[in-house]
Amino acid sequence: MDAKLLEILVCPVCKGLLHLDKARQELICRGDRLAFAIKDGIPVMLESEARELPADEEVGQ
């Protein structure tokens, strides 16, 4: 994932910062506990496509 792109992307729900989970290839919004998939290097920034993070799943650093 391009670092410059990561700097300008925000959560489409709350406009908060996103954090890259390299292992899962997801962008994580800690505030909304949503994970946005990265497919073929392109982030899928649709709320309807986001994965909700379970309460017991630790949100990365």
pLDDT in tens, the chain (61 residues): 778 888 899 999 999 999 999 999 999 999 999 999 999 999 999 999 999 999 887 776 5
Q: Does some domain include residue 9?
A: yes
Q: Does some domain include residue 18?
A: yes
Domain of 9: which CATH number?
2.20.25.10
Q: Does some domain include residue 57?
A: no
pLDDT on residue 2: 79
pLDDT on residue 20: 95
Q: Does some domain include residue 58?
A: no
pLDDT on residue 29: 97
pTM score, whole prediction: 0.88
DSSP track, the chain = --HHHHHH---TTT----EEETTTTEEEETTTTEEEEEETTEE---GGGPEEPPTTSPPP-
Q: Does some domain include residue 59?
A: no
Residue 20: other Cβ atoms inside 10 A: 17
Residue pair 1/43 in contact (Cβ under 8 Å)? The answer is yes
What domain range is 44 assigned to?
3-52
pLDDT on residue 39: 95
Q: Does some domain include residue 61?
A: no
